[in-house]
Amino acid sequence: MISNNTNSGKIGQVIEVNTERVIVEISNELDNYNIIHNGNLYRIGQVGSFVKIINGLSCVYCVVESFSTYMQTGDIAINKKVLNVSLLGYKNIKGQFESGAKITPSIADSVFLIDEDDINIIFKTDVKFPIEVGRNYFSNSLPVYLNLNEFVLKHSLIVGSTGSGKSNTVAYLLNNITAEYKSARIIIIDIHGEYMKYLGENANEFSIFNTTKKLVIPYWMLDFDTLCKLFGLANSLTSSSIIDVFRDRILQMKKAFVIADAELKKRINIADININSPIPFNIKNIWFEFYNRGYGTFDKSSREYGDFVYQKDEAGKILAGDADAMIKPQFEPYSMGANRPFKSNEVQYKSIADNIENLLRNEDFKFVFGDDEYIKGEKGIAELIASWIENEKQISVLNLSGIPYNILDVVIGVLSNLLFDTVYYSLKIDEKKFEGRPLLLCYEEAHRYLNADTQNSFSQNAVERIMKEGRKFGIGAMIISQRPVEIPNQILSQVSTFIALRLTNSEDQSKIVSFAPNNFSLFLKSLPSLGNGEAFVIGESMKIPMKVKIPLLETVRNVNFATKIGAWQQDKPDELNYNDTIIRWMQK
């Protein structure tokens, strides 16, 4: 007789084996479907749970597909409690797990529940870098591990509808990584500024509002094409001559900056400097020249640059303007006839000068064009980048919540390229020094900027570059989204590990099911019914697909998500007006 309180874990035996499945008959001696094994309670027949089949020295692992109280044979239904299971793999003679069906069960082989030793065999065999991803859904005491090397360097996707537990899953994984790997380097692109409350003391946050932990992106770090697009130089109406002048002025100033710095001059060959070299230049000087070219009036009809006719103030001082102070020059109005002052014949510079001025004066762009010491080139950019990826914490949160949505795409693209190039050129200097120190980039709410319907996206192009080339240089990406159907296939096709929490949208479900192994796609049909913190983990970092339960972190448990709506229960403030709001809006 098989007791429901047993140390063996035996639940039945094999009664049929074919090319598609194995049928297991549950012992009639079990008086219910709950069994206590090694002090843990198991429910027999849970779809997606695991069992093992033993015959002599062979041990085969299977996943439960269905559980029924009858067995259909032709037109006859036989009263039997049966499990339909599919083969996952087996334990080899070294005691290690191997996937596939090299060993198949035989009739009358005994069937058992799996225990913690089996979990370790399945998930930790030959895994040099195991990390806990959660707990076995069917036995909460059993941890589930993934291969961190495969997870990071072959990229991952974490998906789930709002409230399913995505943020907790990400925080749980990252906390486990930093606890086990003291030199880990992780950066989170956080567009809502929410991850610090989940990660607590394990991370440093950098934002445009923080004066000590700065998030600044100097404009001179942007590539030339990006600058052209920002300043409106990339449209078809822009004269190629203006773009040529723009390029020439930037290159001249970059070379002049190096020549003026004795240390840089020793180390950098002037001939090696190109338009995209990350060397400071003064954009205000270019704005000033373009403004003069477009709006200036001239003393002679030859209209040579510098031969301007300026207005004077009451004291007789020429109002020639000031580039650094962003003071526009004041010109005498041009004559309508053949007399001086003569109108500029380069009025096409007006719109470009205006575009540059608007960005330079826009408060929302101060983190790019402001007066910060990094932006002005007074302090080395290497120190800024090092503060993000080499600070005393292993996780850096780049809080982008204060950045205007209309430039979010550009900012994320620039940050991604900047970090990629930093790692790439570090390896060019000393491969051994940086070897073995990967950088993991986590993209929160990725569907907001990595959208399949967006054309010529800065961020999408940059992230695609990381997905396709990052592994060679030790850069991995974690894509986090509630709408996987909106993520471009060019990015999803590079992902090797999927963590799928509850998804309620049918299109999102289908997207994830399409990436599942054949013997696991059936279980993903239950994606909409998963509870909070429950997930399927699929991919190359796992020996076999697995359903897990991610423990709820205290930092997440303590977040009061009801505080905002709770304001509706309070008394409405008196004398509300939006004058300051409108003024701030006008200053954009």
- pLDDT, tens digit, for every residue of 394-413? 999 999 988 887 788 889 99
The answer to whether the beta carbons of residues 298 and 340 sit under 8 Å apart is yes
Look at residues 220, 370, 366 and name the one whose alpha carbon lies nearest to residue 280: 220
Summarize pLDDT for 39-61 with one digit per residue, the tens.
Answer: 777 888 888 788 999 988 889 99
Q: In the structure, what pLDDT confidence band is assigned to residue 431 with cuts at 50, 70 and 90?
A: low
**Rounded Cα distance, 290 and 517, in Å:** 59
Decide if pLDDT at 66 tops 70.
Answer: yes
d(CA 471, CA 445): 22
In the predicted structure, residue 520 carries a pLDDT above the cut 70: no
Alpha-carbon span 227 to 514, nearest angstrom: 39
The whole-angstrom separation of Cα 588 and Cα 574 is 28
pLDDT band at 1 (very low <50, low <70, confident <90, very high): very low
Is it the case that residue 434 has pLDDT exceeding 70? Answer: no
Q: Is the pLDDT of residue 141 over 70?
A: yes
For 540, list phi and psi in degrees, rounded to 5.
Answer: -70, -20
pTM: 0.82
Q: State the Cα–Cα distance between residues 3 and 11, nearest whole angstrom.
A: 10
Chain centroid to CA 564: 27
Q: Which helix (H) or strand (E) holds 563?
A: helix 563-566
Asked if 399 and 215 count as a contact pair (C-beta separation under 8 A), the reply is yes
87-96, 380-389, 516-525: least confidently modelled range: 516-525
Domains and CATH numbers, the chain: 5-126 (no CATH), 143-218+372-559 (3.40.50.300), 224-361 (no CATH)
Q: How far apart are CA 513 and CA 183, in angstroms?
A: 35
**DSSP letters spanning 57-125:** TEEEEEEEEEEES-EEETTEEE---EEEEEEEEEE-TTS-EEES-SS---TT-EEEE--HHHHHHHHHT
| Residue 519 pLDDT greater than 60, yes or no | no
Plot region of 490 (φ>0 → left; ψ -120 to 50 → alpha; else → beta): alpha
* 7 has pLDDT over 90: no
Q: State yes or no: cis peptide before 341, omega within 30 of 0.
A: yes
Q: How many angstroms separate the CA atoms of 205 and 209, rounded?
A: 11
pLDDT at 515 over 80: no
The residues near 407 (Cβ < 8 Å, ≥ 6 apart) are: 364, 365
Distance CA 189, CA 557 (A): 22
Contact in structure between 321 and 288 (CB atoms under 8 Å): yes
Residue 509 Ramachandran class (φ > 0 left, ψ -120 to 50 alpha, else beta): alpha
SS3 labels along 355-407: HHHHHHHCHHHHHHHCCCCCCCCCCCHHHHHHHHHCCCCCEEEEECCCCCHHH
C-alpha torsion 168→170→173→174, nearest 10: -110
Q: Is 135 helix (H, G, I), strand (E, B) or coil?
A: strand
> CB–CB of 439/475 below 8 Å?
yes
Q: What is the pLDDT of residues 540-581, one digit of tens each?
A: 888 778 889 999 888 787 666 556 677 778 887 777 777 877
Q: How much is the mean pLDDT over the chain? A: 87
